[in-house]
Chain A
Amino acid sequence: MAGLELVILGVFTSAVIAFVLGSLHKVLGSAITIVASGFVFVSIAYYGLNGTLDVTSNLVPAFAYAESYASIYFAALVSFVFFMVSFFNPYFVGKMKYPALYSMLYLLSLAGVIGVFFVTNLLGFFFYFELVVWSSMFLIPLGKRIKSTAWYYGFSAFGSFSLLFALFILSGTDSNIYTALGIVSGSEQNLVFVLLIIAGFAKLGAFPLHIWLPKVLGSSPDPVTAVFSGGLEKMGAFVAVLVLLRLSPVGPMIDVLGLTLGQYVVGFLGALTIVFGTLMAIRQDDAKKLLAYSSMSNGGYIILALAVMTDTSVSGALYHVLAHALASTAAFLAIGAVNRQTGTTKMSELGGMIHKMPISYMVYLIAIISMAGIPPMGGFISKWLIFQSMINEGLIILSIATFFGSIGSFLYVFRPLAALFLGQELSEYKTTIKEAPFLMLIPMIILSLLNVVTGVIPNFVLSYINKILSEVGVSPLGLDGNFIIQGNNGNLQPALISGMFAVGVGVAFIIFIVLKKSRKVELTDTYTAGNFVYNEQLLHYTTDFYAPLERLYDQYTTIMKDFYKNLAYKVKEFGQVVRYFFFTYKPEITVFWIILVLLFLLWGDVV
């Protein structure tokens, strides 16, 4: 028996230890993060999946915990992401201003996110939620830019306040959040639904609360970026699972779609998230920002699929949480490795990394194949399940968004592959660059293997997801044996597809190998239509890769940002009005208000 409370308290303690040791020596603190997050992952995965996790709370009675299949699924996944990313910490703390603080906050945010998944009392839920917000908020400014923290704080505060109001309303029914979500009804239910959705959207970075996501992911330190995308964002998905599946969806039924209004609005916002994230990702120059927008777009898939609430869609959404966490963490780590070796993530400044960093290249390649939803990787399974539900329910507008996002993902994930890894090796990197150190390669290789495994034999995960489905009252997904998934309108055998892919590649390889051997030439030795090109930069095509496509929507890209800037301006203006009337140095205005207040207080007595 392992106590969940002990695990969480252990993380808190090791956070303090990491701070103390990190103050003595930079790398010691980050070594603690590896050990502690590894400990959390192993204990939650082992005892949680065995069903022997002890959730009673003896030491701190203010918090009550309960385990469910959903919470173990999410906690195991997120702690795994934290564990994998922590291998990067020793290599990145050196450049930071406060390395000890970094190690501590890293562990505190892990403790917070684990707490959110298991805690049941309302106040405890808010405590852990805020712990994540605050600890991750101070992780961001340890990177490139401090300004993005303000955006993060603004949107997080909005989400937190919504959550707090929702919890206030729920506290009228029961102190256990799961019971309360089941009891609440009527107009209170509608209000809780909207408020919790806002909280989830703010954490997941879904449209229209997405502005912070690319800024934060683009400018925070590389391990934090990976953790945000693979781990912390998934907390928003967890809140969305809570609100959409535990609380019955609200609003009148739209008969022709078979969805309630509440479901459709959430789904539609998810669809907008997909389209917006895709369009913005296509036009980024910074590889990290590009992947950040892709995270946003994938978050849209999760929301959209959860909102439809059928067996295929919910299992697709939950599988997508896993597949995207594995793929995006791997992709961010590969980009992080490049960043460590070169000092930049701008695609226009990089090229030909494959020559010196082939393993990072392969990791990135496998990750993007999964992200684009191509077999034989995990992303294909979840996208297939989501498409099944879209088609079966006949949701035309929402499916246009999913199709667009899925094809658009080929466009954006290919860009870093071509610009950053392929092409000519630029002269400034020819001598100095090496492959990432061995310790950094370990998590990258493990994640790549898992990307393949989840794509070839998904049924062992899907059978676990089926337990979550029965827990939340959705009919389980049909699984035939270990290899076949039964969809709404056809079966899928991922292992067969992967096997045939291997056969195809084998045949192609045989054709290739029996033919005459090629003569190797340099990458500068290419057809240039008679022009004499003397340096690598001129041949390497990276800047404005999709210029003709970007031109079509360039003028509309700042709409949301302008909206929030205008909103901020309006709030400021309103504040000035308030200040003009209430907080002024002019005595006549003060006297006027005093008289007015007195009049109001004496209303009915004197007059």
Chain B
Amino acid sequence: MSIGLSIIAGLGVALFGFVLQTSVAGLNRKVVARLQKRYGPKWYQEFIDIFKLLSKRATSHGWIFDFGVIMALGGIIATAMFMPITNNLLAFEGFDNFFIFVYLIAVGMLGMAMSASGSGNPLASIGVMRALTTMLAYEVPFMVIVLTIINLTGESSVSAIAQAQQLGGDFNWFIIALPIGGVVAVLSLMGMLGKKPFETYIAPAEIASGPMVEYGGKQLGMLFIMHEITVFIEVSLFVHLFLGGAENIIIFLVKYVAVYTFVNLISYVNGRFKIDQVVVFFYKWPLLLAVIQAVMAIYLGLVI
């Protein structure tokens, strides 16, 4: 594929991710509403919200406020461009390295944090502080588990890891092959997505949605788009690394919706941790379990 086509394909993946996650999030609002004996909004309510925001005239707190939003959305779109959807459907074959997703996503996060701090609202700064602290908490156990997977497969390309699981023989799906690691990964995924009990950095009733507090209009709309694509990247990573990826798009959709809905359902029956509880939690159980799993798998060769 020529580079021009690859770029278009990559942008297509980002757009697909946005549409998919926004629809799934809308569906999930209905699912959660039924859980709580409500009807809930229409499944496309999230689209309406975003496009309404994009059409409105907003206020800006200076150039860094706008620049941060552009950097955030740009960084996330760039990350999504590398994400494989199925075995064959990926824009840059051979370059979907796991570390790109971890680190390129951070550019987006940094842009958003910068923009939020640039708004000059202390609640936003508190939100950013909490978001970064949460990141410090969930990222380490998750990385240890991914280390184990990369060490076992000898591949750090996300699609290659997915294919290694599909071939059978060598590896089961890693959520079965590394069951303890699977638990850790689910917990880390909840931290990544900011689901309860780890949604401390958004905490609407406490710090007025944290980093988002000063935004409105197109900036907020763009950050919503960024958020949806971020969720798409994180959930897809889980699908590819732990659930064997997808041979075709239907399987991908099924796995994707199942993972997101599962995490969302757990989230809605939980309360919210304080921020130091989040850190203590992740460094107590998930990290311990992750190390146990890594030692079992790498040194002792105990892989199911």
- Tell me the A residues contacting B by CB distance below 8 Å: 256, 354-355, 365, 369, 372-375, 380, 383-384, 387-388, 390-392, 394, 396-397, 399-400, 403-404, 407-408, 410-411, 414, 417-418, 422-424, 487-493, 496-497, 500-501, 503-509, 511-512, 515-529, 539-541, 545-546, 548-549, 551-552
How many angstroms from the CA of A550 to the CA of B217 in the assembled complex? 36
Of B24-32, B91-99, B179-187, B242-250, the one with at least 4 CB within 8 A of chain A: B91-99
Closest to B275 in A: A548
CB distance from A365 to the nearest CB of B (A): 8
Q: Which residues of chain A come closer than 8 Å to B74, judged between CB atoms?
A: 501, 504-509
Tell me the minimal C-beta distance from A30 to chain B in angstroms. 34
Report whether A507 and B77 are in contact in the complex, using a CB–CB cutoff of 8 Å.
Answer: yes
Given the interface contacts A414-B132, A519-B60, does A524 sit within 8 Å of B140 by beta carbon? no
Instruction: Tell me the nearest residue of chain B to A388, going by C-beta.
Output: B156
Rounded to whole angstroms, the CA-CA distance of A126 and B35 in the bound complex is 75
Q: Which of B58, B113, B122, B280 has the most CB of A within 10 A?
A: B122
7 closest A-B pairs by CB: A505-B74, A504-B78, A523-B120, A518-B60, A504-B77, A508-B73, A490-B156
**Pairwise interchain contact B214-A526, C-beta atoms closer than 8 A:** yes
Contact A539 B120 (CB under 8 A): yes
Q: Name the distance in Å between B17's Cβ and chain A's nearest Cβ.
A: 13
Chain B CB within 10 A, most for which of A397, A488, A501, A519: A501
Which stretch, B40-48, B104-112, B169-177, touches the partner chain A?
Answer: B104-112
Measured CA separation A487–B76 after assembly (Å)? 25
Question: Once the chains are docked, how many angstroms separate the CA of A62 from the CA of B160?
Answer: 59
Q: A399 to B70, Cβ gap below 8 A?
A: no
Known interface pairs A492-B95, A548-B274, A549-B133; 17 further A-B residue pairs with C-beta atoms within 8 A, sorted by A's residue number: A354-B118, A375-B107, A391-B156, A394-B151, A407-B139, A411-B132, A418-B125, A487-B156, A489-B156, A496-B95, A504-B81, A509-B74, A516-B56, A518-B218, A518-B219, A519-B58, A527-B123
Q: Which of B233-241, B255-263, B264-272, B292-300 contacts A (4 or more CB under 8 A)?
A: B292-300
A250 to chain B, nearest CB (A): 23
Name the contact of B121 in the complex, choosing from A506, A516, A517, A539 (C-beta under 8 A): A539
With both beta carbons as reference points, the residue of chain B lying nearest to A492 in the complex is identified as B97
Within 8 A of A (CB), among B126-175: 126, 128-130, 132-133, 135-136, 139-140, 143-144, 147, 150-151, 153-157, 160
Across-interface contacts of B213 in A (CB, < 8 A) = 526-527
Contact between A403 and B143, CB atoms less than 8 A apart: yes
Q: Could you say which of A390, A399, A422, A496 contacts B118, with CB atoms under 8 Å apart?
A: A422
- CA of A411 to CA of B151, assembled, Å: 28
Please give, as numbers and ranges, the residues of chain B lying within 8 Å of A501 by CB-CB distance. 74-75, 78, 104, 107
For B7, give the chain A residue with the smallest CB separation: A503
Choose from B54, B106, B144 the contact partner of A396 (Cβ within 8 Å): B144
Decide if B86 is an interface residue (CB 8 Å cutoff).
Answer: no
CB-CB nearest in chain A for B217: A518
> In the assembly, what is the distance between CA of A424 and CA of B124, in Å?
13
Chain B residues numbered 206-226 whose CB sits less than 8 Å from any CB in chain A: 208, 213-214, 217-219, 221-222
**Can you give 13 contacting A-B residue pairs, CB < 8 Å?**
A375-B100, A396-B291, A418-B128, A424-B120, A490-B97, A501-B104, A504-B75, A508-B74, A515-B54, A515-B218, A520-B60, A527-B208, A528-B121
Closest to A553 in B: B279
What distance in Å separates the Cβ of B226 from its nearest Cβ neighbour in chain A?
8
Shortest distance between the CB of B122 and any CB in chain A (Å) = 4
B208/A552 in contact, CB under 8 A: no
- Complex CA–CA separation, A516 to B66 (angstroms): 13
Taking the complex as formed, is B64 at the interface, i.e. its CB lies under 8 A from any CB of chain A?
A: yes
Given A422-B64, A487-B156, A549-B136, also A512-B99 (CB < 8 A): no
Across-interface contacts of B208 in A (CB, < 8 A) = 527, 529
Q: A410, B110: Cβ atoms under 8 Å? A: yes
Asked if B198 lies at the interface with its beta carbon under 8 angstroms from chain A, I say no
Q: Which residues of B contact A (CB under 8 A)?
A: 7, 10-11, 14, 54-62, 64, 66, 69-79, 81-82, 92, 94-95, 97-100, 103-104, 106-107, 109-110, 113-114, 117-123, 125-126, 128-130, 132-133, 135-136, 139-140, 143-144, 147, 150-151, 153-157, 160, 208, 213-214, 217-219, 221-222, 274-276, 279-280, 287, 291, 294-295, 298-299
Q: Are B144 and A497 in contact (CB under 8 A)?
A: no
Which residues of B have CB within 8 Å of A518?
57-60, 66, 217-219
Contacting B57 at CB < 8 Å: which of A373, A399, A516?
A: A516
In the docked arrangement, what's the CA distance between A375 and B102, Å? Answer: 10
Pair A504/B64 contact, Cβ less than 8 Å: no
- Indicate whether A500 sits within 8 Å of B10 (C-beta atoms), given known contacts A489-B150, A515-B218: yes
CA distance A551 to B129 in the complex (A): 14
Chain A contacts for B11, CB-based, 8 A: 503, 507
A503–B78 contact, CB under 8 A? yes
Q: Nearest-CB distance from A397 to chain B (Å)?
A: 8
Contact status B81-A491, CB under 8 Å: no
Q: Which residues of A contact B126 (CB under 8 A)?
A: 541
- Interface residue from A374, A496, A545 paired with B110 (Cβ < 8 Å): A374
- Complex CA gap A388/B154 in Å reads 10
Bound complex: CA A592 to CA B245 (Å): 86
Distance (Å) between the CB of A148 and the closest chain B CB?
A: 30
Q: For the complex, what is the distance from the CA of A354 to the CA of B110, rounded to whole Å?
A: 16
Nearest chain-B residue to A498 (Cβ)? B78
Q: Who on chain A is nearest to B10 by CB?
A: A500
Given contacts A422-B118, A505-B74, contact A384 B55 (CB under 8 A): no
B119, closest chain A residue (CB):
A526
Alpha-carbon distance A373/B103, docked complex (angstroms): 7
> Inside 8 A of B295's CB, which chain A residues have their CB?
396
* Chain A positions within 8 Å of B151 at CB level: 391-392, 394
Q: Which residues of B contact A397 (CB under 8 A)?
A: 291
A255 CB, min distance to chain B CBs, angstroms: 10
Which residue in chain B gives the minimum CB-CB distance to A510? Answer: B70
Tell whether, in the assembled complex, residue B95 and residue A512 are in contact, meaning their CB atoms are under 8 Å apart. Answer: no
Q: Whose C-beta in chain B lies nearest to the C-beta of A493?
A: B95
A392 vs B298: C-alpha distance when bound (angstroms) = 10
CB neighbours (8 Å) of A418 from chain B are: 113-114, 117, 125, 128
CA distance A591 to B59 in the complex (A): 90
Please, how many angstroms separate the alpha-carbon atoms of A414 and B218 in the complex? 25
Q: Which residue of A lies closest to B213 (CB)?
A: A527
Closest B residue to A523 using CB positions: B120
Contact A541 B214 (CB under 8 A): no
CA distance A490 to B146 in the complex (A): 14
Q: Which residue of B is nearest A489, CB measured? A: B156
